[in-house]
A and B are shown apart, each in its own frame.
Chain A
Amino acid sequence: MTSIDVKLPAALASECGGARHLALDLDAEATLRDVITAIAQTHPRLARRITDETGNLRRYVNIYIGDDESRRLQGLDTPVTGHDLQILPSIAGG
């Protein structure tokens, strides 16, 4: 097992009862997809903000695995063991 800390943006904190961090215990081989699956089990609305109903990461939601944005790695198949995660939506609009 590995423990993963997921840092949440303020815009989504209420979906976790106001918490800005989510601690997940996952298999040592866990990927980002496993992280989102785990979030969906305990916080389904939070998972829906991050991914669409087909499981794809929403276009303007970025998840950093350590210092790297997941799309620049292996996307949802990126291993996460040993890294903290941060969810950073690209909030924009005039």
Chain B
Amino acid sequence: MIRNRVVHKRKMLWAFLICALGVLGLIGRLGYLMIFRSEHYGVMAEELHQRERNIKAARGTIYDAKGQVLATNRTVCTVSVIHNQITDADEVVRVLTEQLSVDEDKVRKAVEKYSAREIIKTNVDKTTGDAIRACNLNGVKVDEDYKRYYPYDTLASKVLGFTGSDNQGIVGLEVIYEEYLKGLDGQILTMTDAKGVELDGMAEERVEPIPGNDLVVSLDANIQQYAEQAAKKVMEEKNAKQVSVILMNPQNGEILAMVNVPEFNLNDPFTLNYDLTEEVTQEEKQNLLNKMWRNACINDTYEPGSTFKIITMAAALEADVVSLNDSFYCPGYRVVEDRRIRCHKVQGHGAENFLQGAMNSCNPVFIDVGLRLGVDRYYSYFEQFGLLKKTGVDLPGEAGTIMHQKENMGEVELATVSFGQSFQITPLQLITTAASLVNGGHRVTPHFGVKVVGSDGEVRKTFTYDAEESIISEETSETLRYILEKVVSEGTGKKAYLEGYTIGGKTATSEKLPRRSGKYISSFLGFSPAENPQVIGLITIDEPVGVYYGGTVAAPVMADIFSNILPYLGIQPNESYDSQTES
């Protein structure tokens, strides 16, 4: 028998001690994992176990000035899959691909992904959702939630904008007022096993959704509708590319209507509002959609033409370089430096005073007046009137003014700017500046947003807008109103005359670039009552076919709109506002 010797016993102790060291080391490692990393892994485990189902928060409603609903919510479905509960993956992929018209690859990827829940598609029609639910597929979940709905379809489409698949604003007011309109999504958190089956007896955490706030805008659906009809009518009559109308309260900048026909259907914003004649790629289609969503009143600039003479008039009167009775002579052109600039009346207006020059919209008169001011003064008025800045309207993507650099402005440039050529502004900039000049001289900020109302009916926020005081004096403003009233009652704007109302205004016919292409923009800017303007409007008709003079084409449309909305706004015919302003 071989003895168990001391040397062996000592080695046994060694072996034991090494093993004990290993075990103790692992206890240490375990302590580290379970105490210091506990939170890290605990949270990750919780995320894995909890299936969260979002409860979509209702987005706030948009109301017009009279309380009409412009944008609200409708029930739609979200379709998702739970990997571990799927029994027939191929069938699930087939049905979902078919019903939802999404890529098969995308569905298959989601179906095969090892996660508690994978969303396939949101904003599915309730009928489609019901159809999928009726297939009774294991592992397919159809949850109902909200989708944006616009009861008037096309009304003010380019102003309101629409929302994307996650109910977030994409264009228009929906974007600008996103923070007020969007609610806070709620969640239902339930514990599940690895197959995603909910466990009984586990506490269900529920976070209630908070609905978004409602927005009240200054837009009036009735006025907007009427303006849209009028715009559409003239667009069709004149075969024009598009027609824009802005109606605004010149006293405070509230926009009553902003029309850009053709409008598009807000409930189907990803379909073009015309038929394509040829196949286009996805990218081209997106470009066409972006073009369709553009709001020409604020996203695009144009040469305003004769309507801009209002600004030259105001500057000259304010600088006192001209008075109503100053005499001018129009031979049908004016030579400035080496350039011969023609009047629209080729044979010339002959001798006329300033008032008559304005009523005739005579280019040489305004060239003379502009030159009297000089580049420096003209430029400083241009700036003072706020034309170099953006208007600050509460819509996204406002375009800035495209104007000569002051250093590069010679007499020729000054002459052309004086009657509204060789620079570009947005229609909204023009109407805002004109409104500020005729309202007594305070620069208003054009806007839609009036107030934010909580879902409990309580006013959360009332918007205030900056108004710059005295960009011109009250007297200049009054003279300006007088001249512009004459333009309509006796001058080029005669067709905007409306029995019983005093209307001030100015017509314009701008030739589009490149010149002599035969493409014009006819426009008319008018306000009423002339003595104390309550509403101001600008209509621009892009590329009318046939007669294209602003006075002939655009002015009557504004008269038609005014004849309807003035009584609607409570402005009675033959009522004098003079007494009111003086008292």
Q: Do A and B come from one complex?
A: no
Using CB atoms and an 8 Å cutoff, list the residues of chain A in contact with chain B: none
